[in-house]
Amino acid sequence: MTTDLPDIVRDLPGLRQQVADWKRAGEPVAVVPTMGALHEGHLSLVRAAAAQAPRVIVTIFVNPRQFNSAADLAAYPRTEEADRLKLAGQGADLVFVPPVEEVYPPGFSTTVSVAGLSEGLCGAHRPGHFDGVATVVAKLFTMTQADLAFFGEKDFQQLCIVRRLAVDLNLPISIVGCPTFREADGLAMSSRNVRLTAQGRAQAPALHTELRRVAGELASGKTMAECEVLARAAILAAGYTEVEYLELRAESGLVPLDRPTGAARLLVAAWIDGVRLIDNVPIAGGAV
């Protein structure tokens, strides 16, 4: 039985034709942008999209413009057939898998750059990354003409950037952020988790454990300045080799904070087993 497998479309005219048919029938369209190597976190976004829109497009495009190194781009997993099988029964109608030339035809010269929001946190460690993300997301929105788009909160800075660009460019699309999907031991789901050794995989959940512990301390009145040194040491002691950043930011505008005022996020990036993992937790009104 493969009847609920979504169709694969690779070209823009084919995509436009299908979307036009849906829109003519009065059916709103949701998009879930991905780079493939789908896991349960992606599937939870697809299910959330299907719960809110009658038509769901999943895009699979390993976007060369958001990689900092050619080796990283070449090593990125491409698992199209397995991804399509995973999407069976999740509510996706169509998978858009464009070749690079369909997204970036010869002569392509435009970059979408969201100033400010792109600069700290991951942006400080991955030069050009968020310009690549913003450019491809703007393209995917205009290519799919979707009415809603679903993104995970795990990439919280990315979510903020996408919200900003949709407003700034007057794109007629609603951005829906969905909570981070976690393994039973708390590790945030990520396509990178499969690259961990058994030992690294066993140690990796310490990142979330430490985020929760610090979030509790912040909620009980401590400042980041009081928490940060100990937290970084605890993450390293758990088996991580480097903590790139551990920061408290306001959800609105990602303004750096020393103590939570209003809706805030505690965000971290750290390396384990040569794999860079990111995570964050919400801190609202002093509660974890």
Contacting residues toward ligand PAF, per CB under 6 A: 33-35, 63, 66, 133, 136-137, 155, 158
Identify the residue whose tokens are 């609202």.
284
Question: Other C-beta atoms within 10 Å of 83: how many?
Answer: 22
Q: How far apart are CA 24 and CA 42, in angstroms?
A: 28
Closer residue to ligand PAF in complex, CB, 94/133: 133
Closer residue to ligand PAF in complex, CB, 18/66: 66
DSSP state of 47: H
Name which of 288, 229, 246 is nearest 264 in CA terms: 288
Q: Smallest distance, Å, CB 126 to ligand PAF?
A: 11
Distances (CA, A) of 234 to 207, 208, 220, 240: 9, 12, 19, 9
| Contact predicate 235/271, CB 8 Å | no
Three-state secondary structure call for residue 192 = helix
* Known catalytic residue at 208: no
Closer residue to ligand PAF in complex, CB, 257/278: 278
Angle (CA) 113-114-119 rounded to 5° is 100
Q: Smallest distance, Å, CB 128 to ligand PAF?
A: 13
Q: Smallest distance, Å, CB 62 to ligand PAF?
A: 8
Annotated catalytic residue: which of 39, 42, 125, 129?
42
Closer residue to ligand PAF in complex, CB, 142/241: 142
Q: Smallest distance, Å, CB 34 to ligand PAF?
A: 5
Give every CB contact of residue 58 below 8 A, 6+ residues apart in sequence: 6, 31, 32, 34, 42, 46, 87, 92, 94, 95, 96
Q: Smallest distance, Å, CB 66 to ligand PAF?
A: 6
Distances (CA, A) of 8 to 25, 29, 150, 169: 21, 16, 19, 29
| Contact predicate 146/30, CB 8 Å | yes
Q: Supply the residues annotated as catalytic.
A: 42
